[in-house]
Amino acid sequence: MLLPIRLRDFVEDPDGWLYAVSTYDNENKVGCVLRYVPDDEGDRIGPSGQHYQKYDFEDAYRKIAREKPAYAGLVQRIPLIDLRRVLKPDLEISRIAASHPRVKKLLDLFRLPPGAVGCTGSLLCGLQNENSDIDMIVYGKHWFAAQTLVKQGIADGKIEGLSPEMWRKVYEKRQPAIPYDIFVLHEQRKWNRGQIEGTYFDILYTRSYDNLKGVPSGKGVVCGKQTIVAKVTDASLTFDNPAVYTVEHDRVKKVLSFTHTYSGQALAGETIEACGVLEQHGAEHWLIVGTTREAKGEYIISKTLIEGDRYLSSQSQQFCPRMLT
């Protein structure tokens, strides 16, 4: 039986182009984003000696629009019949760990059941270089166990937390619509990133195979930009993509984030402030954060967390008049 294609797998098209899967609804066409293209001038070298060029988000969309418009859309959509190969992080993790000592050490740290952990990105494709980060994936409920183990591993000195310089680098890369101090305050309690022997790593959430139904997908009817304050009633999927916050609000049922910056921002029971685009999905209204790649002017913050720090509470007034009022 073939396993479903899911978020953070990679797929290869007939021309050898490699794409990162970015959706769960892949029954007929795979939703993905182009990452690597064979190119004799490329600086990434695959196991067979083939050179590849890595594509960033904007360049990938331009290349697809120019050369493979049939795949173009909000994400690239490749018909299943066009797939040459599917690379699954959960099936390839042993191969990757056998040749990458730092991945092996992380795998040993997590001590999770077979199939619960994978590795995606350049390592999955065999296209890493000396500067490549480690993108570990943990599936379903096991992610929260890995999160606890990252926290404990840093406390025990088995792995390193991020230095101030690395936090600044992450902040500048993401360019969020919140101040640096507030960004770091939220990030430091997520325990989803660190360094091992100087190499940066993430632990990324992906749903287990038995929980692939009911994933929010598709664009709703746009109702305009809105800022809300609401209580989070369910935070179990706030590290997914999209991150889903079920909230208690007189109009909005869910807040969804399509940018990794605002995943895991709040715990159940906390009050958030979120700014994004309101969409109607059937009988429900959802607030969408990350409607553009940069999510300019869009954010999610935990008012509960910020109000626990008097200094940050005063600083936060400077970037959003509504916040903490």
For the chain, the domain total comes to 3
pLDDT at 157 over 60: yes
Q: Domain ends where: 61, 87, 113?
A: 87
Question: Does residue 186 sit within a domain?
Answer: no
* Shared-domain flag, residues 103 and 74: no
Tens digits of residue pLDDT in 186-229: 999 999 999 999 999 999 999 999 998 877 777 888 999 999 99
Q: What's the predicted TM-score (pTM) here?
A: 0.90
* Shared-domain flag, residues 270 and 281: yes
CATH number at 299 reads: 2.40.50.140
The pLDDT assigned to 218 comes to 75
Average pLDDT taken over every residue of the chain: 92
Which whole-number Å values give the CA distances from 71 to 24, 34, 67, 88, in the listed order? Answer: 17, 10, 9, 21
Give the separation between CA 162 and CA 185, rounded to whole angstroms.
Answer: 13
Tens digits of residue pLDDT in 79-108: 999 999 999 999 999 999 999 999 999 999
pLDDT at 34 over 70: yes
Instruction: Give me the phi and psi of 242, to 5 degrees please.
Output: -70, 150
Tens digits of residue pLDDT in 10-19: 999 999 999 9
Question: Does residue 45 sit within a domain?
Answer: yes
Question: Does residue 269 sit within a domain?
Answer: yes
Give the separation between CA 262 and CA 187, rounded to whole angstroms.
Answer: 9
* Shared-domain flag, residues 122 and 64: no
* Shared-domain flag, residues 97 and 53: no
If one counts every other C-beta atom within 10 angstroms of the C-beta of residue 214, the result is: 8
* Shared-domain flag, residues 120 and 46: no
Instruction: Give me the phi and psi of 288, to 5 degrees please.
Output: -105, 125
* Shared-domain flag, residues 30 and 102: no
The parent domain of residue 55 ranges over 10-87
pLDDT at 295 over 90: no
Please give the distance of CA 159 from its chain centroid, rounded to a whole number.
21
